[in-house]
Amino acid sequence: MRVILKENVPSLGSFGDIVKVADGYARNYLIPRNIAIEATKSNLRQFEAERVSWDKKAQNIKEQAEKLAQELEPLELNFPRKAGEEEKIFGSVTSIDIEEELKKKGFNQLDKRDILLDEPIKKLGVYTVGIKLHPEVTTNIKVWVVKE
């Protein structure tokens, strides 16, 4: 079945692409979740008519993400933790801790899944942590883990 993607789908395509997928995948997943529509002649005409407004909306969302990235860039978060030998901390600093600290600073729209932390931080030091705000916009913040 051929479908028109209404969102970016990793490993399948980006917004506006016409792709061929298995019938079951389209009927059971893509179409019910409003990720895609069937690529019929009438849907193609309707999609092209609405494409301009969707492109403007997508551009607006990206601009908001870029603005948020500029606000986050100079941000530094401090996490005082008890530490033992070799600067190892008791416990760790996780993406949940970083999310909570960001929410205290007023960034309520961020989620722990947006924080690009491969593994919890378990040592004292300064770390650069990535935050994905949009598929095309990523920024970094400094995380200081200091001795309590």
Q: Which domains does the chain have, with CATH numbers?
A: 2-69 (3.40.5.10), 74-147 (3.10.430.100)
> Which of 31, 27, 28, 29 has its CA nearest to residue 4?
31
DSSP letter at 29 equals I
> Tens digits of per-residue pLDDT, 124-138?
999 999 999 988 899
State which H helix or E strand residue 77 sits in. Answer: strand 76-81
Q: pTM of the entire structure?
A: 0.73
Strand 2-5 to strand 88-93: parallel, antiparallel, or no bridges (unpaired)? Answer: unpaired
What's the pLDDT at 57?
A: 84
CA–CA separation, 134 and 129 (whole Å): 16
Report the amino acid identity of residue 11: S
CB atoms within 10 A of CB 41: 7
CA–CA separation, 146 and 148 (whole Å): 6
> Tens digits of per-residue pLDDT, 27-54?
999 999 999 999 999 998 888 888 888 7
What's the pLDDT at 53?
A: 83
CA–CA separation, 138 and 129 (whole Å): 10
Residue 125, strand partner residues: 145
